Structure 1
Amino acid sequence: MMPSHNLHGHSDPHSQDHGHRHESSRALNAAHDHLFLGDSHARNERRTWLVIAITATMMVVEIVAGNLFGSMALVADGWHMSTHATALLITALAYLYARKHAHNRRFSFGTGKLGDLAGFASAVVLALIALLIGWESLMRLRSPVAIDFNEAISVAVVGLAVNLLCAWLLKDDHHHHGHDHGHHAHHGHAGEDKNLRAAYLHVLADALTSVLAIAALALGSLYGWTWLDPAMGIVGGLVIARWSWWLIRDAGSVLIDYIPEGEDLPDEIEEIITREGADIVDLHVWQLGPGHHGAIVSIVTDKPRAPSYYREKLAAIQDLSHVTVEIEARAA
């Protein structure tokens, strides 16, 4: 029987003899902490605040210009920008809170999953926006309104340019979809920052509505098809609703500790342990944050080894950041 240890070999005085060996470890870190934020957390936080600043500036310019020049299209788009900026605040504040409380010990496994919580909330907001767009479009189909095509197209083009810039700033170009560990590759989205993806989808949804609006307005001005504008609104609402569902599903799965299809980390753990002549009798794997997983591994074997031995073997799995190992000798 051996006492509990963390990764760095400190004994746990509260450990009791239950015929098991326990080890809690944080792989590949110089200190035992629970810092499970994504690798690009600081970068993503800075860019989110920059996008909010751009959006808020555009909002003020459109509202002021609209009132000065009597353009209701500009005023309406300005207020739309305000809802857009407010939604992005969810992303920015989640980054801020997660960073500020990253070392708060009351968060048992760190603040890495706050991004997934924010992503889930943003996805719900995105779904509501899709419903509002669809409803407004249906009302416009029933009761058409006069459209100043040239002014509306100009506003949509400016909005599209701003949203494309914001989408470029929020693109998760640091995300990689796989880690080659010598025996398996992850094909899931475990390292994906759901918080950043939510912000990206918000600006992408806005860009999509601008593209559809430009197409509908251009055809409407040429052929007098005023019905095309609200029809495109319905199409855009359906596409945005689908995006929101994907994000709700992906972020929600992390919140309830569901391992998605294609995420083969449990298989990697089992392969390593089995190769050492041991069997896994209980295994729990969950995501702690972007690119970080935790695992509880219960092992039974004929020839038990020191906990550090299994810890060193499992350290080969790059995404495994916090491990608890329980070892028991096989009954005769």
Structure 2
Amino acid sequence: MMATMEHSHADGTHSHVFLGTDHERNERRVWMVIALTTVMMVVEIAAGHWFGSMALTADGWHMSTHAGAMLISALAYLYARKHAHDPRFTFGTGKFGDLAGFASAVVLGVVALLIAWESALRFVSPVEIDFNQAIIVAVIGLVVNIVSALLLKDDHHHHGHYHDDPEDHDHPHESHAHHHGTHAHHSDSHGSHTHHGSRDNNLRAAYLHVVADALTSVLAIVALVLGKWNGWTFLDPAMGIVGGIVIARWSWGLLRSTGAVLVDAMPQQRSIVAKIRGVVETGEESITDLHVWQVGPGHHAAIVSLSTRGETPAAAYREKLLEIEELSHVTVEINAAA
């Protein structure tokens, strides 16, 4: 059972810091990948200019778009950390990562469309390929992407049961009828937990960008090697279309999971709701209204309205609820049963 703590200020308020447990580590890793990508970009553009290689120059500029996508993730980490205690953000800055992940998913989808479109054009108007040069560039890109993927691999989490499809989980809304009486109380608390199974969608977005780039490099190497040996030049655009379709699917999955968090549709809600009911509804009480949503990686908030004939104070229910690992912020409202 995880211990709970209150983060209280001198004025009696409490903090709303709902950043992921590995926020700073993940932020450092993304900046490292940006540095690596930028160095490779400069080297490739310089080498392309020096040796008159259009393939190297083109891949260098492609690296710049890759670094730009990483920058979205890095700045989101930075902003969320710098403004974690800003009272303007009622439930903290934990969702900035999901916002950045959503933006990155849009960029990834556009990249997928561009790859597929350019590949389709090459079917209609084939271009002459310098196979040796193109293979060298693709191998360089693959090595950089493998190193980047290893840096960004989320090796601490994914132990929870997460689903990309918010439609697979109903968003339950109990009856909104309240019976206000003399026993009505309202209290809330912030719990600090180490959450297992939490997923950082910002890191996931950055990771998918480098994995998508690695996939295109692998497909390009296969197409170029077979094209050089067997003259199968059609494989180059064909592999491009295949890569575009796979990346588009990844983009769609990322859009759905980040979008679900942004609109407060909780993919893991059924299991959390079941735990809340198991803790609160013991016979004398019944939940009349319940809202659960994600406020950061591994952090969830809940508003629980319940009807009871007993005399148990709201604080007691709150403390029991904060023993649920996924919950970090709980508001309890008690209404006297009719």
Alignment TM-score, normalising by the size of structure 1 = 0.87
Does 2:227 align with 1:220? yes
Rounded to whole Å, the distance in 1 between the matches of 2:149 and 2:216 is: 14
Counterpart residue number, 2:143? 161
Counterpart residue number, 2:309? 302
Counterpart residue number, 1:188? 162
Does 2:66 align with 1:62? no
Identity of aligned residues (%): 66
> What stretches of structure 2 of length at least 5 have no aligned partner?
9-13, 164-196
Rounded to whole Å, the distance in 2 between the matches of 1:117 and 1:237 is: 23
Does 2:259 align with 1:277? no
Rounded to whole Å, the distance in 2 between the matches of 1:263 and 1:60 is: 49
Whether the 8 Å contact between 1:28 and 1:321 is mirrored in structure 2 is: no
Whether the 8 Å contact between 1:304 and 1:328 is mirrored in structure 2 is: no
Deviation track 1:263-315 (CA, whole Å, cap 9, x = no partner) reads 51111101111126310000000000000000000010111311221112112
Whether the 8 Å contact between 2:116 and 2:245 is mirrored in structure 1 is: yes
Rounded to whole Å, the distance in 1 between the matches of 2:28 and 2:100 is: 16
Whether the 8 Å contact between 1:188 and 1:262 is mirrored in structure 2 is: no
State the Cα distance separating 1:329 from its structure 2 match: 1.5
State the Cα distance separating 1:166 from its structure 2 match: 0.2
Mapping of residues 7-26 of structure 1, within 5 Å = none
State the Cα distance separating 1:127 from its structure 2 match: 0.1
Does 2:18 align with 1:41? no
Rounded to whole Å, the distance in 2 between the matches of 1:321 and 1:216 is: 50
Partner of 1:145: helix, strand, or coil? coil
> What stretches of structure 1 of length at least 5 have no aligned partner?
1-26, 179-186
262, 265, 274: which is aligned to 1:255? 262
Counterpart residue number, 1:321? 328
Whether the 8 Å contact between 1:295 and 1:322 is mirrored in structure 2 is: yes
Counterpart residue number, 2:193? none
Counterpart residue number, 1:121? 103
Quickly say closer, same or farther: Cα 1:325–1:273, change in 2 above 3 A: same
Counterpart residue number, 2:6? 29
Rounded to whole Å, the distance in 1 between the matches of 2:66 and 2:139 is: 17
Alignment TM-score, normalising by the size of structure 2 = 0.86
Rounded to whole Å, the distance in 2 between the matches of 1:263 and 1:161 is: 42
The residue type paired with residue 29 of structure 1 is: E
How much is the aligned-residue C-alpha RMSD, in angstroms?
1.4
State the Cα distance separating 1:262 from its structure 2 match: 6.8
The residue type paired with residue 235 of structure 2 is: L
The residue type paired with residue 248 of structure 2 is: A
The residue type paired with residue 103 of structure 2 is: A
Rounded to whole Å, the distance in 1 between the matches of 2:228 and 2:269 is: 48
Whether the 8 Å contact between 2:322 and 2:330 is mirrored in structure 1 is: no
Rounded to whole Å, the distance in 2 between the matches of 1:294 and 1:261 is: 13
Deviation track 1:235-256 (CA, whole Å, cap 9, x = no partner) reads 0000000000000000000000
Partner of 1:98: helix, strand, or coil? helix
The residue type paired with residue 45 of structure 1 is: E
Does 2:319 align with 1:312? yes
Aligned residues: 298
The residue type paired with residue 250 of structure 2 is: W
Rounded to whole Å, the distance in 1 between the matches of 2:155 and 2:311 is: 44
